[in-house]
Amino acid sequence: MLPAILAVGVTTAVFIALAVFLLIAERYLVNYGVSNVSINEGSTIFEQDGGTTLLSALYDHKIFVPSACGGKGSCGFCKVVVPEGGGPVLPTELPFLSRAEQRSGVRLSCQVKIKQDIQIQIPEDLLAVKEYRARVSEIRQLTYDIKEINLELIEPEHISHHPGQYVQLQAPDPAGGFIHRAYSISSPVYDDTKVQLVVRLVPDGIASTYVHNLAVGDEVLFTGPYGEFRLNDDPDREIVLVGGGCGMAPLKNIVLTAENRWPGRKVKLFFGARTTKDIFYLDMFKELKEQHPNLEVVYALSDPLGPEEHWDGETGFVHLSVDKYLEQTSRRQAFLCGPPPMISAVMQILGEKGMNPDDIFYDKF
């Protein structure tokens, strides 16, 4: 017994000695002094203790660069332009940067450490991103694995966003700390005191499990809005929306926003599902269609019908319906949101219909 206790004691003592040595070394070696961080050619300047990552320094100053992985260098969302003071590009960043991006100084802000005065450029939109505190006001079960979560904003009370944008919801990580996941806003732009999300329960997904376990009255934190999609302002331009599963979220927002702002504008919504059990929002769109005859809604089921199922809509993969219902024109804008194979199939069809790739915006997940 004694040797065992002695062994544990000695091992612990050696470990503690090593830890103390490292702490002392860190104090003297990783102390870079205070550096200036200058954003967008001096429009914002703050001082920062050296040695921290750019991403966490920006978060400390309430500039919310998107990041889904929490600074581990695995999502590639936190890109910013660093013209000066960022040091060489790290091997950990290379998988996320194209050659053009590397030439123009794009970096992953979670990998850049502040060691000297540094200049960065961030899109103005990102400076408008805020952190929101909100309360769950209503939860609806849309299908067996998709829930609609309605959040009432507490602080700040209003949000201004463009349809198609997303927020980053904070969820506790069972392994400690927090993770952030992106969810599109499904409530229309004019409803600026609330944010609605449509979340599918991903097996073993940390954030989606957290969201599905929320109850009415719970408080959540998120940052936003993020996303570069902008609706074309020309009311004569047709809007084509294609989605599957919880890809419905941004599409619903776009439909409601567009019909509110341009009541006569042509909007075509295509939604792909497997079976009748995966269908949601169809009744709501049918009602909306009665007030807005220019809205066209097509749901397509890809799986063969079961013995108990009744369906009078389209069948087959959703890109076949897109092919069937769209005529040849380049005067339209498209937003696609769904799994990668669906996006590639629809992209090809839209190209054949004469659309310019610049007018197609997509979000793969």
Partner 1 sequence: MNLTPVWVVFLGSIFTNNILFASFLGMCSFLVVSNRIPTAIGLGTAVTFVMFCTTVINFLIYHYILVPLGLDFVSFIIFIAVIAAFVQFLEMFVERFSPSLYYALGIFLPLITVNCAILGASLFMVIRNYNLTQTVFYGLGAGLGWFLAIALMAGLREKMGYSNVPRALRRTGIVMLMAGVIAMTFMGFTGMLSTG
Binding-site ranges for partner 1 (CB under 8 A): 3, 6-7, 10-11, 14-15, 18-19, 21-22, 25-26, 29-30, 87-88, 90-92
- 88 or 293: whose CB is closer to partner 1? 88
Minimal distance in Å, beta carbon 80 to partner 1?
Answer: 19
Residue 150: helix, strand or coil by DSSP? Answer: strand
Residue 37, exposed/middle/buried by CB under 10 A (0-12, 13-18, 19+)? buried
Nearest to residue 109, comparing CAs of 156, 160, 70? 70
Of the CA atoms within 13 Å of residue 265, those in its CB half-sphere come to 25
Q: Which two tokens stand for residue 20?
A: 């103390």
- 25 or 128: whose CB is closer to partner 1? 25
Q: How far apart are the first and last CA of the chain?
A: 56
- 26 or 47: whose CB is closer to partner 1? 26
Strand order across the 295-301 sheet:
314-315, 295-301, 267-273, 238-244, 332-338, 360-364
Helix axes 248-261, 282-291, angle to 10 degrees: 10
- 21 or 325: whose CB is closer to partner 1? 21
Q: Distance between CA atoms of 161 and 129, rounded to whole angstroms?
A: 10
**CB contact at 8 A, 199 and 166:** no
Q: Which two tokens stand for residue 318?
A: 């959703």
Minimal distance in Å, beta carbon 88 to partner 1?
Answer: 5
Minimal distance in Å, beta carbon 105 to partner 1?
Answer: 16
Minimal distance in Å, beta carbon 196 to partner 1?
Answer: 43
Residue 83: helix, strand or coil by DSSP? Answer: strand
Q: Which two tokens stand for residue 279?
A: 């269908």
- 17 or 216: whose CB is closer to partner 1? 17
Minimal distance in Å, beta carbon 92 to partner 1?
Answer: 8
Minimal distance in Å, beta carbon 8 to partner 1?
Answer: 9
- 54 or 267: whose CB is closer to partner 1? 54
- 68 or 90: whose CB is closer to partner 1? 90
Minimal distance in Å, beta carbon 14 to partner 1?
Answer: 5
Q: Distance between CA atoms of 253 and 316, rounded to whole angstroms?
A: 25
- 86 or 225: whose CB is closer to partner 1? 86
**CB contact at 8 A, 55 and 109:** yes
**CB contact at 8 A, 132 and 221:** yes
Minimal distance in Å, beta carbon 93 to partner 1?
Answer: 11
